[in-house]
Structure 1
């Protein structure tokens, strides 16, 4: 499930709150190498095995054992040291002679031929820079330069680089057991954690998570949802809100902009009451489709009679047709609806797509969108892109702009027109003469100025031929006046 699909699914998940922003962000973690001591079970060395057997048979001094085994006294003495340290053998004086005897523990080891010994090993782990939780070493993390190139928001670390005192013994012990259970390649040898000796090294990297920001105008309150792939990560949600309360800016925020803020909109004739009525009709139709889809699944699972199933299918088809009709009318677009409509325009356009977006950033124009643009150009669809907000914030050197300029040199490049507008706040999308959208949504960046309030993007969608004609004329006029 991609970001836009998940946004649509979550848009109504918090009653009384509106989804006002969603994006992928880089969350900080520390890769850490810790040196640990693990009590592991190992094979008993052969010399130690036979010393235990000799002791069990009644030989109790170094000379007798060495003579029987044909080994020097030095070898026997060296082998007796670990046996004594592990309490497998006891030493005692008998007169002036040093004697040895096997313990019950030593007899158990003699039977199993296994002995537990401490092993010093390095353990790669991930220390979360927001929550302090520990995870096994994982792939898929990115360095600072890599996430900077992606042009996605980067969350600041809340916790400092971990020292030895920051690594909890019980947390590491649980993590080792988890790693051993999952049979990961980096799991330490089987055994019990004895000690965390040192933090050998630690460095900062990032993982990409999905962030959804909800706002309640009534409560003047913000809620956050964070997802790792499709799984909620509530531990990050509470931490992000806490950081915001402490004055640490971590949420990407932009003021809601009026969609009636440019010359293009002067020619629009949307009726607010009609828009509201159509929006309510869409919501009702979507709910009916949802209910009928569920009813059909239950009927087929319960093997209801075919007549009833056929009736539900017919009702579902009709509900979908009705929803499609409502969606084609003039309507207000929510934040999460914009990206799918942009993709639809690029996929289905037959002649021309017009786009005005103040910024072109990788946060909005990712590789998937660039691929759709390329595919449309190869179909000989003209794509006009107007961009540029001011000299202070230029999109000339961003990765997507460089990629688009590369397209100009291709065989299909003659169908791509880039228009540097210089200072525009308008955001427009036109697909052939089928539909048009005027919006506050930055089509090719979805970023804006992070120093302003919470983003809450809305757009006006129309299939009205007269309105579309006016928007096309005004847009092309702007393009003709601009320097390319």
Structure 2
């Protein structure tokens, strides 16, 4: 029986106080009483058909696609990323057990609790099939640098595919990069922080992200294993030392992506005690809305000195006049708000006291990063070194000096 199933059963027994874990697993009194009353049920063995989505890995028990393209390119990034179960290899299905059980329970809505997946005995057939996905690339405004995208399949928008691609990007698998490179007319500078912190290179950012992801995958805690394999421990230790070394050299604390960056902006607004700096080329109403302005005003009431700096050459037509007017009104009412326009800066950064700074490709005041809307991959580095934060702050002040 697979270890996955054993751990699942043990977790359930321990949570219900039927079994307790000391040096060994022991039956509790409640468990003993329950065992005496337990009725033995005979498992049923049957054949079920399931289909695996080739992009997001989700299972379903029906298939309605009438047209599919079997001429997918051999070097497709999807072929390299998606793990497909192999015929006869039961171990390939372990990650899909919860999905299989849920589908089986949904097929008996009147009594779903009566269905429990005990074991998969065999994978009889595997049919590789592909269907066409339409990727629509666009810009909100002709002058925007950022390219956004939407995914359609079978004529319908597929928000779950955006989440899948976001996960790929977080793991460093930028499967849409070749497409973006063909469409982009003028790419922004390769290094996110080159103009401010010259010793942080794009390659260092990638290395930090790669090492962090690998350590997290190897260091995943196992509730039922007391000790890890010694060789695995040594590998994790070595990777952590390597990560700490590059962090010390580059001052990169961690690498963050789209939704995480947005959360840090909200965190800074809520937690700043002395000063907060936000630099963003554009200001748009979908971000600087009633909720944002209310949160900002709460920050100002705490006597926090807030600096909002915006502006890039040719951006006037892309800014929202109403939002700018509302920020100007706040400036008139609160002496602690500095709201200024710089002539030409593509910089995006936030600074929260001397706790952290983020330098990123994320437009803080024009991109909302709403998970219900189009996903766009943005990258940022968090810096926690106090001297580096101070250098960034002074550099930001110089934009309006």
Q: TM-score, normalised to structure 2's length?
A: 0.44
Higher strand share: 1
Larger Rg: 1
